[in-house]
């Protein structure tokens, strides 16, 4: 009889996307049960990951009444299921999940931190989020920041004691499948066709950004830096793969206008498969203000790209300065411009090191390595 492992996320896409394949892998050793919101989508994830699922309404926003009802519902489920381990991911699932698991007497309550939204919060909201974080960690028996930078932030704010904290492997919640993110899968013909479709010249140097087009991803600074690059270089393009979230974190009007009107910016929109875009690009530009452990930087590295990233947790662990990328200060358009200019000045040299960038990702963040390191943590509890 396998022991029960319950994994909780706020929304199903985290179980199927951010943690893709992990629950199916753990199913070899435990009876895995997935809990999240949106019953229909959760059922689809359950089939995909080969696990039983239980829907519970969880919201991403602060909703006291709904949160209390979710806590009671989850407590009842845990009392009935009697799991050996409850492992939560994402902020709201962590708070509700760890509180309910403690109240239900679950012996092993694990929470993974994949980012801290409070880093950019201020005032009352920041104080509230600080309290919520402390409650989450106090109810957990172990807390796993998915980067050493996040661990340092947790310790700096004294959210919990050092003995409760551990980074799995070299970081990352799920690692990366480098067989899937492999530049060899894309033929020269397929790359030529995509470049033609996007109206890229054969000799255009392509900076690529992948992610949401919002302020805290550094898009305003990216456009400011790129406009300065255009005043000095001709054969350069900026490829942006992602969607706007204008209601949550809108860009500056001049940023939006330039993206919409410049023939040097290609706004490709959202893409389920970003690999083709990486395959035709030369360098990742990712000036985000905050991250957990960014998949985009691992993905681009696995596809053989040099990366320009912000000096924030996760990014500054994946990238080694001057080896597989350049690390710049956050919210600094001038530093970003200088890094982009430096890349263009030595583009021929950097293009020869594509295998080095890929090998660095394979060595440290291969998905099977991350899964087995987490499995070791589970097995220590038995």
CATH code (residue 347): 3.40.50.2000
What three-state secondary structure class fits 1? Answer: coil
pLDDT the model gives residue 118: 65
The verdict on 208 and 311 lying in the same domain is yes
Determine the Cα–Cα distance for residues 305 and 224; give it in Å rounded to an integer: 22
The verdict on 319 and 373 lying in the same domain is no
Q: Which two tokens stand for residue 373?
A: 């390191």
Q: Which two tokens stand for residue 305?
A: 């790209």
Radius of gyration of the chain, Cα coordinates, nearest whole angstrom: 21
Supply the pTM of this predicted model: 0.84
**DSSP label at 203?**
T
The verdict on 202 and 98 lying in the same domain is no
**Domain extent for 295:** 183-365
Tell me how far CA of residue 129 lies from CA of 132, 157, 252, 255, 273, in angstroms: 5, 12, 27, 30, 34
> Do 228 and 337 form a contact (C-beta atoms < 8 A)?
yes
The verdict on 209 and 121 lying in the same domain is no
pLDDT along the chain (382 residues), means of 10: 96 91 98 97 97 95 92 98 97 96 98 79 81 94 94 93 96 95 97 96 96 95 98 97 84 96 96 96 96 92 98 94 97 98 96 95 95 97 92
pLDDT the model gives residue 119: 67
The verdict on 154 and 296 lying in the same domain is no
The verdict on 55 and 134 lying in the same domain is yes
The verdict on 195 and 267 lying in the same domain is yes
Determine the Cα–Cα distance for residues 157 and 290; give it in Å rounded to an integer: 16
Determine the Cα–Cα distance for residues 74 and 109; give it in Å rounded to an integer: 14
Total of domains in the chain? 2
């Amino acid at each position: 009889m396998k022991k029960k492992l319950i994994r909780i996320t706020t929304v199903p896409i985290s179980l199927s996307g951010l943690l893709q394949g992990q629950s199916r892998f753990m199913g070899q050793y435990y009876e895995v049960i997935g809990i999240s919101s949106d019953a229909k989508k959760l059922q689809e994830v359950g089939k995909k990951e080969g696990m039983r699922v239980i829907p519970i309404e969880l919201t991403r926003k602060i909703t006291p009444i709904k949160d209390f009802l979710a806590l009671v519902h989850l407590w009842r489920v845990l009392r009935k299921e009697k799991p050996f381990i409850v492992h939560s991911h994402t902020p709201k699932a962590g708070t509700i999940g760890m509180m309910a698991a403690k109240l239900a007497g679950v012996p092993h309550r694990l929470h993974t931190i994949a980012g801290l939204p409070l880093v950019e919060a201020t005032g009352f909201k920041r104080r509230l989020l600080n309290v919520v974080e402390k409650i989450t960690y106090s109810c957990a028996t172990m807390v796993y920041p998915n980067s050493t930078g996040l661990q340092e932030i947790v310790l700096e704010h004294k959210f919990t004691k050092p003995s409760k904290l551990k980074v799995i492997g070299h970081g990352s919640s799920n690692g990366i499948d480098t067989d899937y993110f492999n530049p060899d899968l894309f033929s020269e013909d397929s790359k030529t066709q995509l470049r033609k479709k996007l109206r890229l010249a054969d000799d255009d140097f392509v900076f690529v950004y992948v992610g949401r087009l919002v302020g805290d991803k550094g898009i305003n600074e990216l456009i400011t830096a790129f406009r300065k690059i255009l005043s000095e270089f001709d054969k350069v393009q900026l490829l942006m793969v992602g969607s706007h979230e204008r209601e949550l974190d809108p860009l500056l009007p001049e940023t939006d206008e330039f993206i919409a009107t410049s023939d040097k910016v290609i706004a490709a929109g959202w893409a389920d498969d970003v690999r083709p875009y990486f395959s035709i690009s030369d360098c990742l530009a990712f000036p985000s203000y905050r991250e957990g452990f960014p998949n985009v930087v691992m993905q681009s590295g696995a596809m053989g790209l040099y990366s320009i990233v912000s000096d924030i947790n996760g990014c500054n662990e994946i990238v080694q300065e001057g080896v597989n990328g350049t690390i710049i200060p956050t919210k600094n358009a001038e530093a970003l411009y200088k890094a982009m200019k430096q890349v263009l000045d030595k583009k021929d040299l950097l293009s020869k090191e594509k295998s080095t960038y890929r090998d660095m990702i394979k060595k440290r963040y291969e998905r099977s390595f991350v899964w087995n390191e987490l499995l070791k943590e589970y097995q220590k509890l038995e």
